[in-house]
Structures are given as C-alpha cells and as structure tokens.
Amino acid sequence: MTQRNIIIEPDTILRKKSDPLEKVDNELRKLMEWTGHGGITNGMLNPSGMVSHYRRFDSLSEIDNHLSSAQSNPKVGEKITQMNKMCERYANMIFEVIRPVDGISDLSEYKFMVQWWFKVKPGHLGNVVDILSDFQVEIGGVKPFIQMPLSTPDLGDITMGTPIKSLSVIRSFSESRKATSSMIDSLKEHIIGTKRMLSGHRTD
C-alpha cells in the first residue's frame, strides 16, 4: 500500500492558492491548438459549477489525428493532470452535431450559454431528434444547435442550446410556455426528463 503524508496546520501549503481553473484551461487550449476555435463555458450561473471548453472538428478522422498529436505531447498530459487535481471529475466528450447553431456572426459577442439536456426513453432517440429538429423558435435571433454525445453522460442523451449575448433574451415562464408548448407536448411520451443549464461563455 502506498504511504501518503497528511498535511496539517501550520503548514503554509494549506493557504497557497491554486491557479484558477480557467487559467489552466487557457494554457491547455494553447497547447492543443484550440485557441480561436470554439469557446469556454464556466459554472458562474449553473448549479453544477461545471467548466467546459469545446472545439468543432469536421470529421472523426480529424479527431483521431488530433488526439494522436495531443497524446504524443507530454506537456498536454501534464496540464490535464493539473486540471484533474482541481476538479471533482474530468471527462472528454465527442458530440455529433445534428443541427449547427445558426444566426451567429461573431461568437465573441456572446457572454452566456443556455442548454437543455434531454434524457430519452430507450428506442425513442430518433423521435426526439425529429421533434427538436422541427422546433424553429429562435432565442435572441439565434436558432439553437442540436447535438448528440457519442457516449451518454449523466446529463442526458441529446442536448439543444445556444450562446446568448444577454440574459435579457431569456423568456419568462409564461413566454417560454407559450413558445414551446407544442414541442413539450410532442416530447412527453419520448423522454424521461430534462435539465436546463445556464453558463457563462467566452472565446479565446
């Protein structure tokens, strides 16, 4: 069994501040050549406190090549290890884009990200994709993206969302109920539940 030392007062390391997670995330994105390709979300406004960063690729082959390159760089592994120590969990996820976000010219203007996650009943994923794809309501002039993770996380089986410039574009309950009632009625028999997440968003 590995022996571990327990650090107690008055050791000064207990008062040493760690680097902010987003600072380490920025450094990782530079190492992986993600800077300028996508963005970063933070847990400023979502109860999970989740921080994520993303980049779009054109194909799975491109992701294969990228991962091979990243894994051969020891500095990338060191930075990921550093991030792991600052988080309860760390995960990589690949999403298939069913419908890309539409209506954005400059992503750097969008300060927040709104996402809806749907937990789908077995065998009903195609139905949910069709219903969400037919949903044409825009949020702040932007048509939401629809994405499906290749491996299912705890949050859900499919997600719909969009970056927004201001919190003022988020509809009130009554407005949202009116705008989405037909979609929700159609989804009822196909889903187990939904979650909405609101996060801070920025580009690098």
For the chain, which domains are there? 18-43+50-84 (no CATH), 95-202 (3.30.70.100)
Predicted model pTM: 0.80
State how far the Cα of 14 lies from the Cα of 50, in Å rounded to an integer.
Answer: 24
User: How confident is the model at residue 20, as a pLDDT?
Assistant: 62
Give the full edge-to-edge strand order of the sheet including 39-42. 52-54, 39-42, 191-202, 112-120, 158-164, 145-149, 95-99
Q: What is the pLDDT along the chain (204 residues), one digit of tens a residue?
A: 444 455 455 655 445 444 466 676 788 888 888 888 888 888 766 666 778 889 999 999 999 999 898 889 999 988 888 888 888 777 889 999 999 999 998 999 999 999 999 999 999 999 999 999 998 888 888 999 999 999 877 778 999 999 999 999 988 889 888 888 899 899 999 999 998 889 989 898
Query: Would you call 126 helix, strand, or coil by DSSP?
Result: helix
112 forms beta bridges with: 164, 200
Largest Cα–Cα separation, the chain:
61
Does the CA dihedral 163-167-168-172 come out positive or negative?
Answer: positive
Residue whose entry in the numeric block shows the structure tokens 């400023």: 44
| DSSP three-state, residue 168 | helix
Q: 141 near 106, Cβ under 8 Å?
A: no
For 121, phi and psi rounded to 5 degrees? -65, 145
